[in-house]
Amino acid sequence: MNISKSLRFRINAGYVIFCLVTTVCYSICALTVLKISDDELFNWYIVRLAEGLYNQHDLLHQTDFYIADSEMFVGTDAQVIRKVLAEHDNHENTISDSMSLDDWDHVRHVSRGDSGRYEVYELTLPDKNYHMVKIPLRDSFNKNQFFYYIIDVSGYNTYAVSAVQGTYFGLSVLLFLFFIIAIVSGKVISEKVISPLKQLADEVAKADVGTKLNSYYPDEVGILAGKVNQLVARIGGFIDREKAFSRDVSHELRTPITSSQVSLELAMQMTKESDTKLRSVLQRIGDANRDMIHLIETFMLIGRENIPKDSVTQTNLYDVVHESITRNQYLIGVKKLDVVSHVDEKIEVKQPKKLLLVVIDNILRNAFQYTDEGNVTIRGNKEFISIADTGRGFDQSAIDRLSMPYETFHGEGVGLGLNIIKRICKLTGWRLDVRSECGVGSLLIIHF
């Protein structure tokens, strides 16, 4: 069975995939929220710090900008841009006095707080990263001048990258642990889910034909159990009709065949010994009658599902073999064929006698029918019985085809012998071994 197509594997795989997708999505959302919260918290902190520094300086009446210290600045957007560039020995001539922070390519507006009073910017230069808080001066004569608080965050960004990498590693470890947990829990869940189905399968395997299955909850398994009950009821009806048909056919066929057999025996007694042609015709009719009786009895036996316990008895193998030889002796006729039995008279086997007789009958009938001259040798003990002939034989590759009903190799008979033998072996648990070669002969062994 392909495990990828089993219901247990599909449930387990679906649960594991669901857990992994959920974990990954949750991790991405958590990282995103953490990043946003971290940025907002940092911006809130530097705004509070800038506001404190702003309140400590009395800059209300300054009309010219000046540098209070290395982190604070009062002036216009263009002036603060030039100051930052000057600290990095970068003197761009494209910075006009009317230029604002939003116009500079290295600046990104981040947030606006306190109803627009405070603005936070990110400045990204080749070797440095800054955050800048921009606060308008209170009662300033020059509306274009602002208080700027600039902080170098290059080291913080490096730490943040390391922290993110550590977070990714931790999430990878957790993802692996979740994967193991998902596999184990998925297996447990899949077993729980399919346990009613396994229970139903076991009940179906143990149930006899016509037995109604137990009731289940009105779920999918309950629906399946109901459909199985309907199917069992239909099959039970078919089997009852087949049994009735078999009984009727057996009775209706046996009665006329028995009558015709009695009539043939009387006709043979009334026929003169000198009338060889008529006696030959009557003999062929009698042979056909015996074949018909043999087939009817065989089909009645192998049509059962199980072997009745009382049919398994201690059986003398020698008696069964010689009874079969006697019954099928007519098939030899005038052939130069010797029948040799090496079965000891004291050998007894505990087997169903009728089925054993049917098997030996069919093997001997084939041997007698398809062997024109030579010998048929029978050997047996408590473990096996073998019948070898020097007949026509058949190709070893044709065994499977000959096991099918109504298949013959030499165009004679009805082609049921080997098929019947295999069916009986399956019913009784015997093992059939067939060896044959064209023009050499055949060997059939039944292992008990």
pLDDT digits (tens, 9 = 90+) for 76-117: 888 888 888 877 766 566 677 778 888 888 888 777 765 567
| Residue listed under structure tokens 């070669």 | 437
pLDDT at position 115 is 57
* pTM passes above 0.75: no
Please compute, for residue 406, the number of CA atoms within 13 A of its CA located in the half-sphere on the CB side. Answer: 0
**Which has the closest alpha carbon to 235: 218, 256, 210, 213?**
210
pLDDT at 411 over 50: no
Length of the chain, in residues? 448
The answer to whether 80 and 103 are in contact (CB under 8 A) is no
In this predicted model, which residue has the larger pLDDT, 433 or 291? 433
Strands 336-341 and 373-380: parallel
Q: Which residues of 92-115 are buried (b: 16+ CB within 10 A; e: fewer)?
A: eeebeeebebeebeebeebeebee
Q: What percent of the chain has pLDDT over 90?
A: 11
Amino acid identity for residue 101 in this structure? L
Mean pLDDT of 376-385: 94
Strands 72-75 and 118-124: unpaired
pLDDT at 135 over 70: yes
- Predicted confidence band of residue 317 (pLDDT cuts 50, 70, 90): very high
pLDDT at position 381 is 92
The 3-state DSSP class for residue 6 equals coil
- Predicted confidence band of residue 316 (pLDDT cuts 50, 70, 90): very high
pLDDT at 399 over 70: no
pLDDT at position 65 is 42
Q: Among positive and negative, which fits the CA dihedral 276, 277, 279, 283?
A: positive
pLDDT at 250 over 90: no
